[in-house]
């Protein structure tokens, strides 16, 4: 039996475009509609009547649960979500939850009350209570993902990325490499710290827990973590922050301590937010395809709502190690003298 995906392939368009051409022909060009109709005839496609009935009740609104809307990385993810949703004819209900479980449950309830069709969750938390859980679950978990997500998911191999960054620093000759971590409960923090430890172990370097400082992905925590590390009697020669925002805060803390990056200490981040390339010096970091997270999440959620099979239920997006001017080899000033 043919499917809407086969029609999309024959017409050279997305599944969402096929759906619009059949249900909302006025929102697509006549040329696109004709290509879709030709593909429908060629494939012998007949819409599933149950699915059509289900779709007829939809609001074409998607709820997006954002832990912290001011976070620069999430802002880029939201851009991807909005662009993909607009192309597919969906509206976006943006919810700044501050990582509050009860707030998230309230917004997820918009699906049960038929004020929205589905949820894109950007935090590792299932917002649907077991007592009132729609089936199939109309949700996609992206960015910070549950260990066993009950729905399609999109994430990065954070452990591998952090390992690559730590290996870059080790390759420059650094042996006292500190890390400023993210929130304790976050799987991103756990996986990035694990990658850091993997690289140390592979290089035969001892793991020193005192070189790890807590943070929360904010510039303030990066600043505080850097100042604490620089007060050590034997300061690190490199600091790896689990987010660029923390690295930017750490950069300020390092400069206020009278040290230079990378002459006295190397500094690396994670995310490749826009500000990273305009720091002084520009920040070495892990580049995440933030907009791709958002676009892929919308496409996957629409496929769930359309009751269409997914090519991959749990996607892992690629990353890049971007080497800029904030990291360098160990210099003559990289000694144990504590910073002032």
In a domain, 340, yes or no: no
In a domain, 36, yes or no: yes
Angstrom distances, CA of residue 138 to CA of 135, 150, 299: 7, 10, 13
> What's the confidence (pLDDT) of residue 335?
52
Exposure pattern of 214-235 as b/e (b: 16+ CB <10 Å)?
ebbbbbebbbbbbbebbeeeeb
Helix, strand, coil tally for the chain in percent (to 5)? 45, 15, 40
Kindly report, residue by residue over 289-330, the tens digit of the pLDDT. Answer: 999 999 999 999 999 999 898 989 999 999 999 999 999 999
- Give the integer Cα–Cα distance in Å for 213 and 235: 13
Edge-first strand order for the sheet with 212-213 is 212-213, 177-180, 238-241, 266-268
In a domain, 111, yes or no: yes
> What's the confidence (pLDDT) of residue 43?
82
- Give the integer Cα–Cα distance in Å for 290 and 273: 9
Percent of the chain surpassing pLDDT 90: 74
> What's the confidence (pLDDT) of residue 1?
52
Are residues 274 and 311 located together in one domain of the fold? no
Are residues 79 and 22 located together in one domain of the fold? no
Residue 72 φ then ψ, to 5°: -65, -35
**CATH number assigned to the domain comprising residue 273:** 3.40.50.2300
Residue 339: is its pLDDT beyond 60?
A: no
> What's the confidence (pLDDT) of residue 46?
66
Are residues 263 and 170 located together in one domain of the fold? yes
* Mean pLDDT, the chain, whole residue set: 91
Residue 191: is its pLDDT beyond 60?
A: yes
Q: Tell me the CB-side half-sphere exposure of residue 193, using CA atoms within 13 A.
A: 20
- 17 near 8, Cβ under 8 Å? yes
Of 31-35, 103-107, 250-254, give the lowest mean pLDDT range: 31-35
- Give the integer Cα–Cα distance in Å for 302 and 8: 14
- Give the integer Cα–Cα distance in Å for 237 and 214: 18
Residue 31: is its pLDDT beyond 50?
A: yes
Are residues 247 and 299 located together in one domain of the fold? no
Higher per-residue pLDDT: 139 or 45: 139
Are residues 269 and 214 located together in one domain of the fold? yes
- Give the integer Cα–Cα distance in Å for 318 and 222: 26
In the three-class reduction of DSSP (H, G, I as helix; E, B as strand; rest coil), residue 239 is classed as strand
- Give the integer Cα–Cα distance in Å for 72 and 121: 17
DSSP labels, 262-331 = TTT-EEE-SB--GGGGGSSSPPBEEEP-HHHHHHHHHHHHHHHHTT---S-SEEEE--EEE--TT-----
Are residues 79 and 122 located together in one domain of the fold? yes
Are residues 168 and 280 located together in one domain of the fold? yes
Q: Which domain holds residue 259?
A: 158-284
Last residue of a domain, one of 237, 267, 284: 284
In a domain, 41, yes or no: yes
Q: Which residues pair with 156 in a beta bridge?
A: 317
Residue 124: is its pLDDT beyond 80?
A: yes
In a domain, 336, yes or no: no
Q: What predicted TM-score, i.e. pTM, was given to this entire model?
A: 0.80
Give the chain's domain count: 3
Last residue of a domain, one of 284, 300, 327: 284
Per-residue pLDDT, averaged over 61-69, amounts to 96
């Amino acid at each position: 039996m043919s499917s809407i995906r086969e029609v999309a392939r024959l017409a050279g368009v997305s599944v969402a475009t096929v759906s619009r051409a059949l249900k909302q022909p006025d929102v697509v060009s006549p040329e696109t509609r004709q290509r879709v109709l030709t593909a429908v005839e060629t494939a012998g496609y007949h819409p599933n009547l149950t699915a059509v009935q289900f779709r007829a009740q939809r609001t074409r609104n998607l709820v997006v649960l954002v832990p912290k809307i001011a976070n620069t990385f999430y802002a880029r993810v939201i851009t991807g979500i909005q662009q993909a949703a607009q192309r597919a004819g969906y509206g976006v209900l943006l919810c700044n939850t501050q990582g509050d479980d009860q707030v998230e449950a309230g917004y997820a309830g918009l699906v049960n009350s038929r004020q929205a069709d589905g949820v894109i969750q950007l935090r590792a938390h299932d917002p649907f209570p077991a007592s009132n859980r729609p089936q199939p679950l109309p949700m996609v978990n992206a960015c910070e993902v549950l260990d066993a997500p009950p729905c399609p998911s999109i994430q990065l191999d954070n452990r591998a990325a952090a390992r690559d960054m730590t290996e870059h620093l080790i390759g420059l000759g650094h042996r006292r490499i500190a890390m400023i971590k993210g929130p304790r409960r976050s799987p991103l923090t756990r996986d990035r710290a694990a990658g850091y430890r993997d690289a140390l172990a592979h290089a035969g370097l001892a793991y020193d827990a005192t070189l790890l400082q807590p943070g929360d992905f904010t510039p303030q925590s990066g600043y505080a973590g850097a100042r604490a590390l620089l007060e050590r009697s034997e300061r690190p020669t490199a600091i790896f922050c689990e987010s660029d925002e923390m690295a930017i805060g750490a950069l300020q803390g390092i400069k206020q301590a009278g040290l230079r990056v990378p002459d006295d200490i190397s500094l690396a981040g994670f995310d490749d937010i826009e500000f990273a390339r305009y720091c002084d010096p520009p920040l070495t970091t892990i580049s995440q395809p933030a907009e791709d997270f958002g676009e892929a999440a919308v496409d996957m959620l629409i496929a769930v709502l359309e009751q269409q099979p997914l090519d991959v239920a749990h996607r892992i997006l690629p990353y890049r190690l971007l080497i800029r001017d904030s990291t360098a080899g160990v210099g003559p000033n990289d000694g144990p003298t504590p910073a002032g």
